[in-house]
Amino acid sequence: MTHKILVIHGPNLNMLGTREPETYGAATLADINAALVLHGQTRDVEVTAFQSNLEGEMVEKIQQAIGMYEGLIINPAAYTHTSIAIRDAVLLLTMPVVEVHLSNIHKREPFRRHSYLSDVVAGQIVGFGMQGYLMALDAILHILQKS
Ligand code: CA2
Protein backbone atom coordinates (compact mmCIF):
# COMPACT_ATOMS: atom_id res chain seq x y z
CA MET A 1 0.00 0.00 0.00
CA THR A 2 1.31 3.46 -0.85
CA HIS A 3 1.94 5.63 2.19
CA LYS A 4 1.82 9.42 2.05
CA ILE A 5 4.36 11.30 4.12
CA LEU A 6 4.67 15.06 4.56
CA VAL A 7 8.01 16.78 5.16
CA ILE A 8 8.04 20.28 6.68
CA HIS A 9 11.19 22.40 6.64
CA GLY A 10 11.33 25.52 8.78
CA PRO A 11 12.89 28.96 8.44
CA ASN A 12 16.10 29.57 6.52
CA LEU A 13 16.39 25.97 5.35
CA ASN A 14 15.59 27.25 1.84
CA MET A 15 19.12 28.71 1.99
CA LEU A 16 20.88 25.40 2.64
CA GLY A 17 24.02 24.85 0.62
CA THR A 18 24.84 28.56 0.42
CA ARG A 19 26.79 28.92 3.70
CA GLU A 20 27.84 27.10 6.90
CA PRO A 21 28.43 23.77 5.09
CA GLU A 22 30.60 22.68 8.06
CA THR A 23 27.47 22.77 10.24
CA TYR A 24 24.64 21.92 7.85
CA GLY A 25 26.36 20.09 4.97
CA ALA A 26 26.63 20.99 1.30
CA ALA A 27 23.26 19.68 0.15
CA THR A 28 20.60 22.15 -0.92
CA LEU A 29 16.97 21.80 0.15
CA ALA A 30 16.18 20.63 -3.39
CA ASP A 31 18.83 17.89 -3.00
CA ILE A 32 17.25 16.75 0.29
CA ASN A 33 13.75 16.72 -1.16
CA ALA A 34 14.90 14.81 -4.27
CA ALA A 35 16.69 12.23 -2.08
CA LEU A 36 13.53 11.82 0.01
CA VAL A 37 11.36 11.33 -3.07
CA LEU A 38 13.78 8.71 -4.47
CA HIS A 39 14.05 6.95 -1.11
CA GLY A 40 10.27 6.95 -0.88
CA GLN A 41 9.90 5.47 -4.38
CA THR A 42 11.95 2.44 -3.36
CA ARG A 43 9.58 1.92 -0.42
CA ASP A 44 6.23 2.73 -2.04
CA VAL A 45 6.01 6.04 -0.17
CA GLU A 46 4.80 9.28 -1.74
CA VAL A 47 6.73 12.20 -0.25
CA THR A 48 5.45 15.79 -0.29
CA ALA A 49 7.79 18.55 0.88
CA PHE A 50 6.92 22.03 2.18
CA GLN A 51 9.17 24.83 3.40
CA SER A 52 8.20 28.06 5.10
CA ASN A 53 9.94 30.89 6.88
CA LEU A 54 6.68 31.71 8.70
CA GLU A 55 5.54 30.05 11.91
CA GLY A 56 1.81 30.46 11.13
CA GLU A 57 2.21 28.86 7.71
CA MET A 58 3.90 25.89 9.32
CA VAL A 59 1.05 25.58 11.85
CA GLU A 60 -1.50 25.65 9.01
CA LYS A 61 0.37 23.00 7.05
CA ILE A 62 0.50 20.74 10.12
CA GLN A 63 -3.27 21.16 10.62
CA GLN A 64 -3.89 20.40 6.93
CA ALA A 65 -1.93 17.15 7.26
CA ILE A 66 -4.80 15.63 9.26
CA GLY A 67 -6.51 13.02 7.10
CA MET A 68 -4.15 13.66 4.16
CA TYR A 69 -0.88 12.10 5.31
CA GLU A 70 0.11 9.12 7.43
CA GLY A 71 3.33 10.51 8.79
CA LEU A 72 5.20 13.78 9.28
CA ILE A 73 8.93 14.53 9.16
CA ILE A 74 9.62 17.99 10.54
CA ASN A 75 12.70 20.15 10.93
CA PRO A 76 11.27 23.28 12.53
CA ALA A 77 14.75 24.92 12.40
CA ALA A 78 14.93 27.85 14.87
CA TYR A 79 11.24 27.43 15.79
CA THR A 80 12.29 24.15 17.45
CA HIS A 81 13.57 26.21 20.34
CA THR A 82 10.79 28.81 20.56
CA SER A 83 7.46 27.66 19.19
CA ILE A 84 4.68 26.48 21.47
CA ALA A 85 2.31 27.03 18.49
CA ILE A 86 4.11 24.38 16.44
CA ARG A 87 4.18 22.05 19.46
CA ASP A 88 0.40 22.51 19.94
CA ALA A 89 -0.22 21.84 16.23
CA VAL A 90 1.85 18.63 16.36
CA LEU A 91 -0.20 17.57 19.39
CA LEU A 92 -3.30 17.64 17.13
CA LEU A 93 -1.85 14.80 15.03
CA THR A 94 -2.30 11.10 15.67
CA MET A 95 0.14 10.07 12.90
CA PRO A 96 3.81 9.35 13.69
CA VAL A 97 5.94 12.49 13.70
CA VAL A 98 9.75 12.45 13.56
CA GLU A 99 11.80 15.57 14.34
CA VAL A 100 14.99 15.94 12.31
CA HIS A 101 17.96 18.26 12.69
CA LEU A 102 20.87 18.34 10.27
CA SER A 103 23.28 19.30 13.05
CA ASN A 104 23.58 17.70 16.47
CA ILE A 105 21.70 20.36 18.45
CA HIS A 106 22.91 18.78 21.70
CA LYS A 107 26.55 19.65 21.09
CA ARG A 108 25.99 23.24 20.03
CA GLU A 109 25.00 26.39 21.96
CA PRO A 110 22.94 25.72 25.12
CA PHE A 111 19.85 27.45 23.66
CA ARG A 112 19.67 24.82 20.89
CA ARG A 113 19.55 21.90 23.33
CA HIS A 114 15.91 22.43 24.23
CA SER A 115 13.25 21.42 21.74
CA TYR A 116 9.57 22.19 22.27
CA LEU A 117 8.82 19.12 20.16
CA SER A 118 11.09 16.41 21.54
CA ASP A 119 8.59 15.07 24.11
CA VAL A 120 5.60 15.08 21.75
CA VAL A 121 7.14 13.31 18.74
CA ALA A 122 7.86 9.64 18.15
CA GLY A 123 11.56 10.43 18.07
CA GLN A 124 14.30 12.89 17.21
CA ILE A 125 17.13 12.27 14.69
CA VAL A 126 19.98 14.76 14.96
CA GLY A 127 23.47 15.22 13.59
CA PHE A 128 23.36 13.03 10.49
CA GLY A 129 22.84 15.76 7.90
CA MET A 130 20.68 14.87 4.90
CA GLN A 131 20.83 11.17 5.83
CA GLY A 132 18.74 11.95 8.91
CA TYR A 133 15.68 12.69 6.75
CA LEU A 134 15.97 9.28 5.07
CA MET A 135 16.33 7.63 8.46
CA ALA A 136 13.21 9.48 9.60
CA LEU A 137 11.23 8.16 6.62
CA ASP A 138 12.28 4.61 7.51
CA ALA A 139 11.41 5.20 11.17
CA ILE A 140 7.90 6.33 10.22
CA LEU A 141 7.44 3.29 7.95
CA HIS A 142 8.59 1.04 10.77
CA ILE A 143 5.99 2.57 13.10
CA LEU A 144 3.23 2.32 10.47
CA GLN A 145 4.06 -1.32 9.76
CA LYS A 146 3.81 -2.18 13.43
CA SER A 147 0.36 -0.61 13.84
O1 CA2 B 1 20.41 21.48 12.59
C2 CA2 B 1 19.30 21.81 12.16
O3 CA2 B 1 18.70 21.19 11.29
C4 CA2 B 1 18.62 23.06 12.72
O5 CA2 B 1 17.24 22.81 12.81
C6 CA2 B 1 18.92 24.18 11.74
C7 CA2 B 1 18.43 25.55 12.22
C8 CA2 B 1 18.88 25.84 13.65
O9 CA2 B 1 18.29 27.05 14.10
C10 CA2 B 1 18.52 24.71 14.60
O11 CA2 B 1 19.02 25.02 15.88
C12 CA2 B 1 19.12 23.41 14.13
C13 CA2 B 1 18.98 26.68 11.33
C14 CA2 B 1 18.69 26.53 9.88
C15 CA2 B 1 19.52 27.57 9.18
O16 CA2 B 1 19.69 27.17 7.85
C17 CA2 B 1 20.75 27.64 7.16
C18 CA2 B 1 20.67 27.57 5.82
C19 CA2 B 1 21.74 28.00 5.04
C20 CA2 B 1 22.85 28.48 5.62
C21 CA2 B 1 22.93 28.56 6.97
C22 CA2 B 1 21.87 28.13 7.75
**Tens digit of each residue's pLDDT (9 = 90 or more) over 69-90:** 999 999 999 999 999 999 999 9
pTM of the model: 0.98
Which residue among 28, 32, 55, 105 is best mutated to probe the pocket of ligand 1, counting the most ligand atoms within 8 A of its Cβ?
105
Backbone angles phi and psi of 99, in degrees to 5: -90, 130
Instruction: Tell me the pLDDT band of 147, cut-offs 50, 70 and 90.
Output: confident
pLDDT at 1: 74
Residues 6+ apart with CB under 8 A from 64: none
CA angle, residues 39, 144, 131, in degrees to nearest 5: 30
Closest protein CA for atom 2 of ligand 1: 101
Taking 3-state DSSP, the helix, strand and coil percentages for the chain, each rounded to the nearest 5, stand at 45, 20, 35
Q: How far apart are CA 29 and CA 32, in angstroms?
A: 5
Helices (H), 1-130: 21-24, 29-41, 55-64, 84-91
Q: How far is the CA of 13 from the centre of ligand 1 (A)?
A: 6
Over residues 26-53, the pLDDT tens digits come to 999 999 999 999 999 999 999 999 999 9
